[in-house]
Structure 1
Amino acid sequence: MYEHYFQCPYCWEEISVLLDPSVKRQVYIEDCEVCCNPIEFLVGFEENELQEFEIQNIEQ
């Protein structure tokens, strides 16, 4: 597993997420562990290295 730190697009707190480098491309939704708002993740790995990491708030 690969731990990656980022800033929540809602509350601006720095949080971390565990990413699985065995899955080359991932798109999923996970709640912020601080403010509980949903965040969409786009993650891409190449040769077990993180190449793409984008987050987007999901307007409610």
Structure 2
Amino acid sequence: MEEHFFQCPYCWEEVSILLDPSVKKNVFIEDCEVCCNPLEFSVQFENEQLINFTVNQFQ
């Protein structure tokens, strides 16, 4: 697992998430640890290196 830090688009706090580099492409929903609002993550790894990470508000 790889820890990745990002800024929440709701509360603007810096939080972290654990990502699995063995999963090449993944889209998932998880609540912010600080404000509990739902976040949509899109993650892509290539050769176990993170090449794309986006986080957006989930409607």
Identity of counterpart residues, as a percentage?
64
Kindly state the Cα deviation for residue 7 of structure 1 after the two structures are TM-superposed: 0.2
Give 1:4 deviation, angstroms: 0.3
- Following superposition, the deviation at residue 26 of structure 1 comes to 0.4
Instruction: Give the counterpart letter for 2:57 in structure 1.
Output: N
Aligned length: 59
1:1-60 paired onto structure 2 within 5 Å: 1-59=1-59
Question: Within 2, Cα distance between the matches of 1:38 and 1:17?
Answer: 14
TM-score (norm 1): 0.96
After superposition, the CA RMSD in angstroms is 0.5
Q: Which runs of 5+ in 2 are unaligned?
A: none
Distance 2:2 2:50 in 1: 9
- What TM-score, normalized by structure 2, do the two folds share? 0.98
> How far apart, in 1, do the equivalents of 2:51 and 2:37 lie?
25
Shift of 1:9: 0.3
